[in-house]
Amino acid sequence: MEPTKVLPIIAIASLVTVEFGGHALLRFITTDRDKLGEFRERFFRAGHAHAGVLLLLSLVYLLYLPRAGFSDGLEWLAGGVLLAGVLAQSGGFFLHLAVGEQSARSSGTMLTRAGGLLLAAALIILAVGLAGGA
């Protein structure tokens, strides 16, 4: 199958997990707020929001990817880097929620930064392809 047919399916299916996360966050806020605490609630919100916004960005990205004129292999690579970046950036917030401490770096903050680099790389790849194909 073509990458621009498979990768959007993955992104859309992943949005279901974001919806579940929104439900879980609402439940924590309305019933178990004291259990979660302000620090963890902040990172839960950040991970949830980044996941939703970045998955929507990925759908737009994947609409433009065929216009870059890349081979299927490069489309798989670019789309894979993008989706890995989405998972790493938003997942890093959740990892920090689980293992991090307030005002301290953790493996979660490192993962979030790595996700940002992957997202930047994917966006640059697409921009270069679109500029060359224009």
Quick one: tokens of 57? Answer: 């960005």
Per-residue pLDDT tens over the stretch 75-108: 999 999 999 999 999 999 999 988 999 889 999 9
Quick one: tokens of 64? Answer: 């433009």
Q: How many domains does the chain have?
A: 1
CA 112 to the chain's CA centroid: 10
Domain range for 90 is 3-133
What secondary structure, in 3-state letters, does 49-77 show?
Answer: HHHHHHHHHHHHHHHHHHHHCCCHHHHHH
Mean pLDDT of the chain: 92
Contact predicate 43/98, CB 8 Å = no
Quick one: tokens of 121? Answer: 């790389």
pTM value is 0.89
Task: Please give the Cα distance from 76 to 63 (Å, whole number).
Answer: 13
How much is the average pLDDT of 116-128?
A: 98
